[in-house]
Every structure is written in structure tokens, then in C-alpha cells.
A and B are shown apart, each in its own frame.
Chain A
Amino acid sequence: MNPTLKKPRESVDLSELTQSTFPDEVLEKVLSLVQSHKDRNSASLVCKDWYNAERWTRTKLFIGNCYSVSPEIVARRFPKIKSVTLKGKPRFSDFNLVPENWGADIQAWLDVFAKVYPFLEELRLKRMAVSDESLEFLAKSFHGFKVLSLLSCDGFSTDGISSIAAHCKSLTELDIQENGMDDISGSWLSCFPDDFASLEVLNFASLNSEISIDALERLVSRCKSLRVLKVNKNVTLSQLQRLLVRAPQLIELGTGCFLPDLTSRQYAELESAFSNCKNLHTISGLWEATYRYLPVLYAACASLTFLNLSYATIRSGEFLKLLAHCPSLRRLWVFDTVKDEGLEAVGTSCPLLEELRVFPADPFEEDIVHGVTESGFVAVSAGCPKLQYVLYFCRQMTNAAVATIVRNCPDFTHFRLCIMNPGQPDYMTNEPMDEAFGAVVKTCKKLQRLSVSGLLTDLTFEYIGRYAKNLETLSVAFAGRSDWGMQCVLEGCSKLRKLEIRDCPFGNAALLSGLEKYESMRCLWMSACSVTMNGCRLLAQERPRLNVEVIKDENSDDSADKLYVYRSVAGPRRDAPPFVVTL
């Protein structure tokens, strides 16, 4: 109470701070409520007591780069893991820039997990190599296994999925998306036991083989807690109707093929089935959807928040009508076949929109003028001020348009603009697109992720380094003029975690300017740039805690064709294939 008795801040007794004033049980109880792994990582750094309490209470593991740590290290630190998320290959492997058999095999992890976490319940994998044997091993080793999610993985087939279906008696989620897998047959669906009824999420939209519709109907009838069902394009509309009447409680639906195939009575039945789905928030699938049958959806669209039309090349006419029924939309994925007209309708019909992704229907068609332009994007920004996430593929853009867009929507956290012609300037002024991205980073203070394109000089990167203080992920292709560009980014973007670069004139000087930076990042990818083996060797020498890996093309000169640098506490990879050279 007496101010003179108060100790000035500098003379606080530091020894008091190192002792935790909470008993362990209380600390553990409090920490067990902390869910975010980032918060947990921070908490574990406070002091030894907190580190221990945190490691005993962590149940969910997130590993953004599977080679940054080893399964043994993980097992030693965290004894009570129930859920694991693992990401493997560099993102550019999605675009065929990483050769096959690069690594990221899940088996080494499963071997350790089977011993240390026999009660593991969830496994979410992205860009990992997964074999059928691994899936079978998984199915048989973890008896309470509940959740399997495979996104962009490769190396397995539907046989592996059969093992999961047959052996995981407590399975609640099976989510198979966009994998490089062998689709041998749809018989996996029939491998679920007859009394199996715990499924809540089933997504097999990206599988091509035919499943038994009877088996699926029976499964859907039994699984009363089913909330997500995404079928593949072999499921017809009449079959869909039978599924919907058995699962009106669905929250997310991926339809099958929407090709005209119904009598008018069947159409009415389908319409009625949709109107009975009062909880639908997400609709996707819609292969071959046209004006004919899209109206069956209307009744279910009132509470729709996510509409994924990225499998349906629908045109603006039917799109406009559909949108008019979706006033609550927050996320929209669509093909550029809807054109600027369609995007104008988005601007007028969807004021709550937060995320827009426009994919190119014909990414390799030259000469034909189609798709969306800058005016579509501007129109959306004018009507949807809450936009935070955009992925936009187009064939023309101007600096002025982008400046307008970010003026309308200053809250962007993710801005991914892909002008499909590499190195294309502002088509009206013929100038580089520097000012466009300058406007983005100056205006959008919360920007976390940026993908740039078009004709760009080093000025773009000066802007990024100077203004993009919250930037975590940057993707660059066919841009920049000199090392200076990359240096600006490495120096200025204090929160940068992932930097992926292809076909840019950045060389050793740029690479080495990031010496202080790379250990605070998850990874750096540079391909078809001007970096040499010598430069990479120097980096590896100066920073032994980084793994510096090079994939060389056939010729034997000094260029480091594909460079992948990442921090690791596990040392160099022991499973690197011969084409990956660790320096």
C-alpha cells in the first residue's frame, strides 16, 4: 500500500521468478486447456516446470516438416500423444517439381508410435509417402484409432484403405483427398464390418473407382452421427437422393455427378431430400452440374457458408441464379468459367464473403480470351469488404486494379495472385506489377501469406521487406532482377517462416544473406535460380543445424538446380535417395 515500500522493477528478486508458484497438478490442469501448439511451444520455454508440465499434458502433435525432428526425439519428449499431424514434402511437389521417391515416408514414424503411443487416435498427413503396408500396419497397431486424413499423399492404393475400413473398429473419420494413389477398385467401402456405425466423416470424392452403392447406403443408414459425406463422381443423382434421405443431419455434403439423369418424379424427390437437409453448411462435388439440376440445391442453400464449385465448370448464367440463394456464403471456390459477370454477382450477392478461390478451367490454353480479368476481382472486392483469403488465377491484371482491391479489402491475410503468363506486365501501362504488390503489403497489415506473379523487379521485394511485417509465407516465381530482391525479403520480413522461389535470378549472395534467418524459418526452397553448389556448401558449413539439400539435374556443372534448406534437430536425413545431396 505504501508506495515507498514498493520495489522498483529493476531490483525484483529474480530467484522468486524461477520457482513456479503453482503446484504441478494445477499447472498441468491449466496447461491441458491450452490447445494451440504455438501457445504450448511458448509455454514450454518459460521454465523447467512449465516445460515438464507442458510435455506431460500435450496430446496433439503438429509437425510442419517431418524432417525437422525425429520420431525418437518426439517420443522421448511427449509421452501422451493421441493426435498427430505430419507434413512431408516441400509444397512445390504438388506441381511436379520434386522427383518421386524423395522421402517423407510415414513408416518410420509408425514404428515408433506403435511402441510409444499405442492409444494413438488421430493421424493427419499431408504430402507424405504412405504405402499399403503402412496403412495395414496402422490399422492393426492402434486399436482405438479414430481419425485418418490423407491429403496430397502418395504411394498407396485402395487396398490400403480396405485395411483401414476392415480393422479400425472405432473409426470416426476417413478423409482421402487428392492423393497420388492407385485407385484399383471401390471394394474398400464394402470392407467396413456390418456392425460398424461410428463414422462421422467420410470423404472419398477424389477416388475414381465405383463403390457399391448398396454398401454405402447401408453404411450411411447405420452411422447416425455422420456429419460429413463427400462421395465421388460415380455416384449418380438418383443414388445421391437415396443417401440424403438417410442422412438429413449432414453438415457437409460432396455430391456425385450432377449429369441429367432423372425423371421428373425423381427430380422432385431429390429436391425434397435437399430441402430436408436443414444443417448443410458446405456443398461440393457437383461434377458436370448445369442449369438443369442446380435448382435442386436451392432449398439447402440458405445456411450455406462454403460452396465449392471447383469440380464444376459452370457458366455465369446458372452461377448467378445459384448465388442468389446463398446469402450467407463465407467461402467460395469456383472455376473461371463464371467469368467477370459471375464475380460481379458474387460482389452483389455475398456480402459476408471471406474467402474466394478462382481456378483456371483451361490453364494451358493460349490465345483464347476467356476466364476472369481484373474487373472480376475488383467487383468482388467492392461488394465483399470482409475478404481475407483470395487465390486468383487470371490472364491479365493492372496495378491500379490491385490498388483498388486492397483499398476495398484491407483485411487480407492471404493474397495469392497468379497471373498465368510468367513475367507479364500491367497490360494497360506495360509497367511491372511492382506497385500492385506494393499496395498489397502497404495496406494489408495483417498479411500472412503472399504469392506474387507478373513482371516484377526488385522493387516488389523492397516493398515486401519494408512493409510486410506479419508475412509468414512467400511464394515467388519468374520474378526479381538481382540478389538484392531476395535480400530485402530476408532482412525485412521478421516473421517469415516459409520462402519458396522458382525461376528467379537470385544467387549465392542472396542465399547467404539469410544466414541469420534460416534457423528461425521452417524452410527455404529455391529451384532454377542462380545458386551454385559452392554457395550451398558455404551455407551448410556456416550453419550446421540446417539441412542443406540439393537435387541436381543431369548435367554436372556447378548449379544447384533445386535447393531445399530447413532447420532440424534430427541432423541430416538418413533416408535420402541418391538424387538428394546433403551438404
Chain B
Amino acid sequence: MERRRAIYEKDLNLEATELRLGLPGLDESEKQSSTSNSAKNSKKRPLSEMDDNNSSCVTENEQQEYAPPAPKSGFNKIFFFNNFRAQVVGWPPVRSYRKNIVQAKKPESDTSLGMYLKVSMDGAPYLRKIDLKIYKSYPELLKALQNMFKCTIGVYSEREGYNGSDYAPTYEDKDGDWMLVGDVPWEMFINSCRRLRIMKGSEAKGLACL
């Protein structure tokens, strides 16, 4: 206790009031002066927010998180804890299950990362997802679909649709209707397409005949 008090008094200096952007504890003199916490600084690495993948409680040891030096008595550090925030145990006080909701959501909502759509194929046990943004034209898209599902889709014709092929690609548009892929210009297609379904040729005949 005595030792700490002496150190705190030494610490009543300009450093404490300095506006900083860096992590507390990175400063060499701080490392020496801060007491129990300096041991933590060197051993532990910052918490990665991606570590918390499930909602179960993880011990501090497992997380190896950086804990800040406690504000010294007699002075409050008047600097902004910019990077600090992500690395303090349990701060901000948001419960883990709530953190997970948003992390799971993020990739989907950021449209600059791509336009991922579900693709189902009749008879396949599970769905796939493709990023429409990486294709520039129908032939590219159809080729990719054929590769992904190992099927033949054939050639589109305005009159006959995909007549003659095993499978036909269809999509659900903004209004909820199922349309044949290829009828509208590419730009219009990628703006209105919500999901894709590769139908069996026999079923797709109905769409093409309209």
C-alpha cells in the first residue's frame, strides 16, 4: 500500500493529463510505475471480439485479456481510451448473447461486400449462396451455376426458354413472383432478383410456354 501511494504521487505529472490516442500501458515509464497491472500488460494479448463465438462464459485466463491499470488515486487520466475500449474486459457492459446478434448480422447488411443470394436446386439436400455482384452477364452466371450444381442448363431462347435442358434457372423477384432467368436485361435482373431456384426441366416447361 505504501509503495503504491509513493508511485501514485510520482505520477501526478504531465503524463497523466496528456491527451493520448494510444493504449495506456504502452508507455515505458507507465509499465514500470503501474504496479500489479504491469505484469498483466506484458503477458496478455488484446481480446479479439471474434473470440466470443458462443454465449458461454469464458474465463479471463482463456481470453488473455488486457486489463487497464486502475486510475491512480488523486488523478483521473484525462485521455480518450480509443483502442482501449475493445480490449477492456466486460466493457462496454453488453452481455455476450447480445454481442453475438450483431456480429452475426454484419456481413449480410453491408452491401458493399457483395450481394449474396440463396440458390436452391430441386433435389439437392441443401441450398447454396452466390454473390451476384461478381457476375457481369447471364452466360457468366449460368456457367457458375452449372459448375456449382454439376448440372446442365443449356441455352436460353426467348421463345423456348431453356427447353431441352435438364434444368432451368428461375428466380423470385421483388413482387414474390417466380420468373425465368434471362427474360429481362441483366441490370434489371440483378436489381430485382431475391433468390434463385434451379428447377427441373419438366417443371420449367410451364414457365417457358407462357
Q: Does A559 contact B (CB under 8 A)?
A: yes
Q: Does B56 contact A (CB under 8 A)?
A: yes
Q: Mark B72-87, 1 if CB is under 8 A from A, else 0.
A: 1111111111111110
Check B74–A421 contact: CB distance below 8 A.
Answer: no
B77: A residues at CB distance < 8 A: 423
Q: Known interface pairs A313-B102, A423-B78. Does A366 touch B1 (Cβ–Cβ under 8 Å)?
A: no
Q: Does A481 contact B (CB under 8 A)?
A: yes
Determine which of B63, B73, B88, B178 lies in contact with A481 in the assembled complex, contact meaning CB atoms within 8 Å. B73
- Alpha-carbon distance A288/B95, docked complex (angstroms): 20
Q: A267-B176, A561-B36 are in contact. List 5 more A-B contacts (CB 8 A).
A: A180-B56, A313-B105, A364-B85, A457-B76, A504-B70
Residue of A with least CB distance to B73? A505
- Alpha-carbon distance A366/B87, docked complex (angstroms): 12
Residue of B with least CB distance to A505? B73
Residue of B with least CB distance to A129? B57
Q: Mark B105-119, 1 if CB is under 8 A from A, else 0.
A: 100110000000000
- Alpha-carbon distance A532/B72, docked complex (angstroms): 14
A457: B residues at CB distance < 8 A: 76
CB distance from A182 to the nearest CB of B (A): 8
Q: Known interface pairs A360-B94, A554-B39. Does A507 touch B73 (Cβ–Cβ under 8 Å)?
A: yes
B83: A residues at CB distance < 8 A: 366
Q: Does A482 contact B (CB under 8 A)?
A: yes
Check A360–B92 contact: CB distance below 8 A.
Answer: yes
CB distance from A15 to the nearest CB of B (A): 55
Q: Does B93 contact A (CB under 8 A)?
A: yes
Q: Does A389 contact B (CB under 8 A)?
A: no
B82: A residues at CB distance < 8 A: 366-367, 421
Q: Does B186 contact A (CB under 8 A)?
A: no
Please tell me which stretch of A87-95, A273-281, A511-519 contacts chain B, meaning at least 4 of its Cβ atoms lie within 8 angstroms of it.
Answer: A87-95
Check A262–B176 contact: CB distance below 8 A.
Answer: yes
Q: Known interface pairs A366-B82, A366-B86. Does A557 touch B36 (Cβ–Cβ under 8 Å)?
A: yes
Q: Mark A500-528, 1 if CB is under 8 A from B, else 0.
A: 00111101100000000000000000001
- Alpha-carbon distance A361/B91, docked complex (angstroms): 14
Check A96–B176 contact: CB distance below 8 A.
Answer: no
Check A420–B175 contact: CB distance below 8 A.
Answer: no
Within 8 A of B (CB), among A451-484: 455-457, 477-483
CB distance from A509 to the nearest CB of B (A): 10
Check A96–B55 contact: CB distance below 8 A.
Answer: no
Determine which of A92, A265, A420 lies in contact with B92 in the assembled complex, contact meaning CB atoms within 8 Å. A420
Residue of A with least CB distance to B38? A555
Q: Does A97 contact B (CB under 8 A)?
A: yes
A481: B residues at CB distance < 8 A: 73-76
Q: Known interface pairs A311-B101, A478-B71. Does A206 touch B1 (Cβ–Cβ under 8 Å)?
A: no
Within 8 A of A (CB), among B1-49: 1, 4, 35-36, 39-40, 49
Q: Mark A251-270, 1 if CB is under 8 A from B, else 0.
A: 00000000011111111000
Check B70–A503 contact: CB distance below 8 A.
Answer: yes
Check B55–A532 contact: CB distance below 8 A.
Answer: no
- Alpha-carbon distance A97/B101, docked complex (angstroms): 21
CB distance from A258 to the nearest CB of B (A): 12
A98: B residues at CB distance < 8 A: 57
CB distance from A374 to the nearest CB of B (A): 17
> Which residues of B line the A interface, CB within 8 A?
1, 4, 35-36, 39-40, 49, 55-61, 63, 67-68, 70-86, 88-99, 101-102, 105, 108-109, 172, 175-178, 194-195
Determine which of B35, B97, B108 lies in contact with A178 in the assembled complex, contact meaning CB atoms within 8 Å. B97
Check B35–A179 contact: CB distance below 8 A.
Answer: no
Residue of B with least CB distance to A451? B93
Q: Is the interface of A mostly helix, strand, loop or mixed?
A: loop
CB distance from A13 to the nearest CB of B (A): 56
CB distance from A450 to the nearest CB of B (A): 14
Which of B74, B92, B177 has most chain A Cβ within 10 Å? B92
Check A95–B176 contact: CB distance below 8 A.
Answer: no
Q: Known interface pairs A178-B95, A359-B98. Does A425 touch B55 (Cβ–Cβ under 8 Å)?
A: no
Check B40–A532 contact: CB distance below 8 A.
Answer: no
Q: Mark A16-37, 1 if CB is under 8 A from B, else 0.
A: 0000000000000000000000
Check A482–B73 contact: CB distance below 8 A.
Answer: yes
Q: Mark A335-355, 1 if CB is under 8 A from B, else 0.
A: 100000000000000000000
Q: Does A363 contact B (CB under 8 A)?
A: yes
CB distance from A581 to the nearest CB of B (A): 16
Determine which of B36, B84, B101 lies in contact with A555 in the assembled complex, contact meaning CB atoms within 8 Å. B36
Q: Does A154 contact B (CB under 8 A)?
A: yes
Pairs A-B, 7 closest by C-beta atoms: A95-B90, A264-B176, A180-B56, A505-B73, A364-B86, A263-B176, A420-B92
Check B91–A477 contact: CB distance below 8 A.
Answer: yes
Check A96–B70 contact: CB distance below 8 A.
Answer: no
Check A455–B78 contact: CB distance below 8 A.
Answer: yes
Check B176–A482 contact: CB distance below 8 A.
Answer: no
A530: B residues at CB distance < 8 A: 4, 70, 73
Check A421–B81 contact: CB distance below 8 A.
Answer: yes
B176: A residues at CB distance < 8 A: 262-267
Can you list 10 residue pairs at the A/B interface with Cβ under 8 Å?
A95-B90, A96-B58, A96-B96, A263-B172, A364-B49, A418-B92, A423-B79, A455-B78, A502-B90, A505-B76
Residue of A with least CB distance to B55? A180
Q: Mark A288-299, 1 if CB is under 8 A from B, else 0.
A: 100000000000
- Alpha-carbon distance A154/B58, docked complex (angstroms): 11
- Alpha-carbon distance A97/B96, docked complex (angstroms): 12
